[in-house]
Amino acid sequence: MLISLRFQNIALFGNSEIDFNKGFTVFTGQTGSGKSILVDTLNALLANKKSSLNNRLVAKGSPFSSIEGVFSVLQKTKDWLINNEFDVDEELIVTREWRLKENNYKSRFRINGVLVNRDQIAELRALLFDFTLQGDSYILKDSFHQLSLLDSLDLKKIQESIAKVKQNWNIWHNSNFQLEQARAQKSNLKKEIEEMQYIYQDLNKLGLEDANEQINLEIDQNRLSNLLRLKEGVKVLLIRLNESLDEYPSIIDHTNVCINELKILSQIDSSLEPIFDSFYKLINNLNDLIYQINDYEKTLDVDPSFLNQLQVRLSTLKFYQQKYNRTLPELISYKKELNKYLAFQDTSNKINELSSYENKKRIIRDQSNKDLSIIRKTIALQLEKKLITSLKKLGIPNVRFKIVFEECEPTINGIDKVNFMFSANPGIPLAPLAETASGGEKSRVLLAIKAIFSSFDQANLLVFDEIDSGVSGSVSSYVADLLSELSNHRQVFCVTHQPLIAAFADNHFALKKTVIAGHTKSIVINLTEIADRQRELALLAGGESVEANAYAASLLEHKAA
C-alpha cells in the first residue's frame, strides 16, 4: 500500500506531500488540472524503462528534484528486500532524484536510501504497482502476458505443472545440447581426422619400430662404404694372429711355444703354475678374439646392392623427419598418439547413445507439456465464462470471447501460445482483441480482467487512469461496484470524470489548478467533508445547479447506505 507521496521541485506540484489511506481512492478535477500528471509521477517513481518524458516532471531550471513514495511492506515485498540484501522495516521508501548537470538532468533511484539500478526498480515495480492507463493495451497485445494472466487463475496447480515442465525441459535441453555438441564435434573434426588418418597411414608405411634405426643404419653405411679397407685390415689381423708367413711365425705360434715351455718349467718348479694358468687363460682369450674376428670377416661378405638399399632407407627416414619436423623417436611416438586418438574418434556409438537418451527425455518433456496445456485449456474455459459475464454487465451485451491456443516450440513454460479473441457485435467474426475492440471496449475488457485477476495478483496498488472512459448509466454503476470490490483486496487509485464512480470511493482527492507568483500549480485537496465531496460531485455532474447538487447528494446517500 502507498502511504504517502512527497514532491520536491516537481512540475505543477512543487514541494508538497500527499497522504493516502487504504481502499478505493479517486482523483477528480477539470481537464488540465494535473490528474494524469499525478499518475505520471507514480509511473516515473518506479520507471521500468528509460523515458525522456519523466524529465518533464522536473520543475524547469531546478538543480534538484525528487519524488518519494512511502509504502507499507507486505510479505512478497519483504522477501524481495531480504533476497536483495536491503534492510527491512515496516515501511519501504523509494526515491527518484533528478540533478541538473551541464544542462541535462541525470536521474537515479534509491531504496531505503541505498542507490539501486533500474533492473532492481523494475522488479520492485511489479510488486508495488499495477498500472492500467488510458489507451494502455499491452495486456491485450502481449501473448506471453496473456498466458501469465491465465496461469495466475489457478496458480498453485499451474506452478506444480510448470515446475515439472521446466525440470523436464532442462533435462531434455541438456541431453539435446550434448547430442548436438557431439554431432558438431564430429562434423568439425572430420577434416582434421582425415588429415590425421593420412599422416598415420603415411607413417605406418614407413614401418617405424626402432628409435635407433637411423644410428644403426649410419653405422652400417659407414662400414659398407669402407668394406675393402675393412677386409684388408681383417686379413692382416688374422695373418698376424693365426696364420704364419714363410719366415714369420704368428702370434698363436709364439704362444704355443711359450705355453709348452711353461708347462715343462712348472713341472720342474711348481711355483710357476700360477703363471702357467694365467698364460693359458690369455691364450684362450686370444683364441676367442680370433673367432670373433673370423665371424666379423663373414659379415663383410655382402651384396654390394645392399649399400644402395641402406642409403635409400636413410634418405627416406631423413625426408620424413624433415616433412613432419620431428626426430625419429618423436615420429614413432607421434604415430602411436595418432593411432590412440583415432581409435577413440569413432563417435557413432556415442552419438547413437546420446540420440536414444535425448529421444526418451523429449518424450517425457512432451508429455509434461501436454499435461500443462490440458490444465490451461480447462482454466481458459472458466476465464471465458467469467469475462463474458462481466463484459455483458459492462455494456457489451453481444460479446463473444475466446482464448485460442497455438502450439509453439517447447520452452520452460510449455508449448502454449494464447491469443484473446473478441467480438462485440453479432455477425462479426472473432478477431484478436487488440485489433478489433474499440478504445472504450478495450477499457472495459481491461477492467474486467483486472477484476477477475485482482485476488490472484500480488501487486499492492491498482492504478486506473480514466478506465471508465466511454461508459455511462448502469454500466458506470457496475464499474463503480467493480472498483469498490477490488479495493476490498487491494488499494485502488482511479482518475475519473464520472460522479457516480467518484461517489463510491472511500477517499476522494480533487485537483485544482492555480497560479501562485506567476507560476501554475496544481493543488491536491483531500475531500474529507461530505459537503466538499458533494460540491465536487456536482461539478462533475454538470455544475452547481440545484439538479446537480441533488444528484450529488443522492449518490453520497446511496454510498452511505
The total number of structural domains that make up the chain = 2
The rounded percent of the chain whose pLDDT value lies above 90 is: 38
CA–CA distance, 347 with 183 (Å, rounded to integer): 9
- Residue 417 is given by DSSP the state E
**What pLDDT sits at residue 234?**
85
423 falls within a domain: no
Burial of 406 (0-12, 13-18, 19+ CB in 10 A): exposed
State whether 197 and 307 are in the same domain: yes
**What pLDDT sits at residue 515?**
81
Q: Say yes or no to pLDDT of 548 above 60.
A: yes
State whether 95 and 219 are in the same domain: no
Q: Say yes or no to pLDDT of 52 above 70.
A: no
Instruction: From 314, 343, 372, give the residue that closes a domain.
Output: 343
386 falls within a domain: no
Structural domain containing residue 231: 192-343
For residue range 211-254, what is the model confidence (pLDDT) as tens digits? 898 898 888 888 888 888 888 888 888 888 887 666 678 888 88
Q: Which of 372, 354, 353, 352 is nearest to 169 (CA)?
A: 372
Higher pLDDT, 245 or 79: 79
Report residue 124 as a C-alpha cell: 520492485
Q: Indicate the pLDDT class of residue 139, thresholds 50, 70 and 90.
A: low
State whether 197 and 333 are in the same domain: yes
Q: Say yes or no to pLDDT of 402 above 90.
A: yes
32 falls within a domain: yes
Report residue 59 as a C-alpha cell: 520543475
Q: Indicate the pLDDT class of residue 349, thresholds 50, 70 and 90.
A: confident
173 falls within a domain: no
Q: Which of 2, 25, 18 is nearest to 93 (CA)?
A: 2
For residue range 279-319, what is the model confidence (pLDDT) as tens digits? 999 989 999 998 998 888 888 877 778 888 888 989 999 99
CA–CA distance, 286 with 96 (Å, rounded to integer): 110
561 falls within a domain: no
293 falls within a domain: yes
Instruction: Give the residue-averaged pLDDT of 314-326.
Output: 91
Q: Which of 90-94, 392-396, 474-478 has the lowest mean pLDDT?
A: 474-478
**What pLDDT sits at residue 457?**
62
Q: Say yes or no to pLDDT of 136 above 80.
A: no
Which range among 31-45, 132-146, 295-309, 369-383 has the greatest average pLDDT? 369-383
Kindly tell me the sign of the dihedral angle through the C-alpha atoms of 376, 382, 384, 387. negative
**What pLDDT sits at residue 221?**
85
Instruction: From 343, 374, 392, give the residue that closes a domain.
Output: 343
Burial of 553 (0-12, 13-18, 19+ CB in 10 A): middle
Report residue 423 as a C-alpha cell: 467480438
State whether 199 and 338 are in the same domain: yes
Higher pLDDT, 170 or 302: 170
For residue range 493-546, what is the model confidence (pLDDT) as tens digits? 999 988 999 999 999 999 999 887 777 889 999 999 999 999 999 998 887 788
**What pLDDT sits at residue 418?**
92
At 248, give phi and psi (nearest 5°).
Answer: -120, 110
Judging by DSSP bridges, how do beta strands 431-432 and 414-423 pair with one another?
antiparallel
For residue range 358-397, what is the model confidence (pLDDT) as tens digits? 999 999 999 999 999 999 999 999 999 999 998 998 888 9
280 falls within a domain: yes
State whether 130 and 208 are in the same domain: no
State whether 130 and 11 are in the same domain: yes
Within the chain, how many helices (H) and strands (E) appear? 20, 15
Q: Which of 346, 341, 345 is nearest to 200 (CA)?
A: 341
Contacts 24+ apart (CB under 8 A), 427-435: 430/400, 430/402, 433/140, 433/401, 434/137, 434/140, 434/141
For residue range 418-471, what is the model confidence (pLDDT) as tens digits? 999 999 888 889 998 878 877 778 778 888 888 887 766 656 788 888 877 767
CA–CA distance, 124 with 46 (Å, rounded to integer): 8
Residue by residue, DSSP assigns 322-389 as HHHT--HHHHHHHHHHHHHHHHT---HHHHHHHHHHHHHHHHHHHHHHHHHHHHHHHHHHHHHHHHHH
Q: Say yes or no to pLDDT of 346 above 80.
A: no
Residue identified by cell 472495459 is 444
Q: Say yes or no to pLDDT of 66 above 80.
A: yes
At 44, give phi and psi (nearest 5°).
Answer: -75, -30
Higher pLDDT, 112 or 250: 112
443 falls within a domain: no
Q: Which amino acid is at 461?
A: L
Q: Indicate the pLDDT class of residue 87, thresholds 50, 70 and 90.
A: confident
State whether 202 and 338 are in the same domain: yes
State whether 129 and 198 are in the same domain: no
State whether 96 and 227 are in the same domain: no
Kindly tell me the sign of the dihedral angle through the C-alpha atoms of 8, 11, 14, 16. negative
Q: Which amino acid is at 101?
A: K
Instruction: Give the residue-averaged pLDDT of 264-271.
Output: 88
State whether 8 and 123 are in the same domain: yes
- Residue 49 is given by DSSP the state S
Q: For residue 479, count other CB atoms closer than 10 A to its CB.
A: 29
Cross-strand pairs, 14:
10
Q: Say yes or no to pLDDT of 20 above 90.
A: yes
Q: Which amino acid is at 381?
A: L
- Residue 136 is given by DSSP the state -
**What pLDDT sits at residue 414?**
94
**What pLDDT sits at residue 54?**
67
The chain-wide mean pLDDT, for the chain, equals 87
Report residue 416 as a C-alpha cell: 502454449
Instruction: From 323, 343, 363, give the residue that closes a domain.
Output: 343
Contact 73, 88 (CB under 8 A): yes
Q: Which of 51, 57, 52, 24 is nearest to 39 (CA)?
A: 57
State whether 202 and 126 are in the same domain: no
Contact 27, 468 (CB under 8 A): no
Residue 380 CB partners (closer than 8 Å, separation 6+): 150, 403, 405, 418
CA–CA distance, 434 with 195 (Å, rounded to integer): 60
Q: CATH number for the domain including 129?
A: 3.40.50.300
End-to-end CA distance of the chain: 27
The rounded percent of the chain whose pLDDT value lies above 70 is: 94
Contact 372, 161 (CB under 8 A): yes
**What pLDDT sits at residue 150?**
86
